[in-house]
Chain A
Amino acid sequence: MKEDFDAEAHCDHMAAVLGLEIRPEWRQAVIDNLKATQAMAEAVLTFPLGDDVEPAPVFEP
Chain B
Amino acid sequence: MTAEILYRPAPAIAAAVAAREISAREVATAAIERVTAENDRLGAFTDLTFERALEEADVVDAKVKAGARPPLAGVPYGVKNLFDIAGVVTRAGSRINRDNPPAPADATVVRSLTRAGAILLGALNMGEYAYDFTGENIHDGASRNPHDPSRMSGGSSGGSGTAVAAGMVAASLGSDTNGSIRVPASFCGLFGLKPTYGRLSRAGAFPFCASLDHVGPLARSALDLALLFDALQGDDRRDPAQARRPALAAMNEVRRGAAGLRIAIAGGYFRERGLPEAFAAVDKVATALAVEREVILPEAARARAAAYVITTAEAATLHLDRLRKRPADFDPTVRDRLLAGAMLPAAWVIAAQRWFRQAMREVFAKVDIILAPATPFHALAGGTKTITLGGVAMPARPNIGIYTQPISFIGLPVVTVPVWLDGARLPIVVQVIAPAWREDWALRVAHALEEAGVVEAPVAGEKESVR
Contacts and interface: CB of A to CB of B under 8 A. Distances in A.
A61 B350 CA distance: 18
Interface residues of A, number: 36
Nearest to B211: A58
Contact of A18 (B302, B305, B343, B412): B343
A11 B345 CA distance: 12
28 contacts: A18-B342, A20-B323, A20-B324, A22-B339, A26-B327, A26-B335, A30-B339, A31-B340, A33-B340, A37-B308, A37-B309, A37-B344, A43-B301, A43-B305, A44-B302, A44-B352, A47-B355, A49-B354, A56-B356, A58-B210, A59-B197, A59-B211, A59-B356, A59-B411, A60-B411, A61-B197, A61-B357, A61-B411
Secondary structure at chain A's binding surface: helix, strand, loop or mixed? helix
Nearest to B398: A36
A61 B301 contact: no
B108 interface: no
Interface of B: 196-198, 210-212, 241, 243, 299, 301-302, 305-306, 308-309, 312, 320, 323-324, 327-328, 332, 335-337, 339-344, 347-348, 350-357, 398, 409-412, 436-437
A30 B301 CA distance: 23
A32 B339 CA distance: 11
Nearest to B308: A40
Contacts of A24: none
Nearest to A38: B348
A60 B211 CA distance: 10
B302 A43 contact: yes
B305 A11 contact: no
Interface of A: 10-11, 14-15, 18-23, 26, 29-34, 36-38, 40-41, 43-45, 47, 49, 53-61
Nearest to B343: A14
Contact of A21 (B327, B356, B411): B327
A1 B263 CA distance: 37
A41 B197 contact: no
A4 to B, nearest CB: 14
Nearest to A14: B343
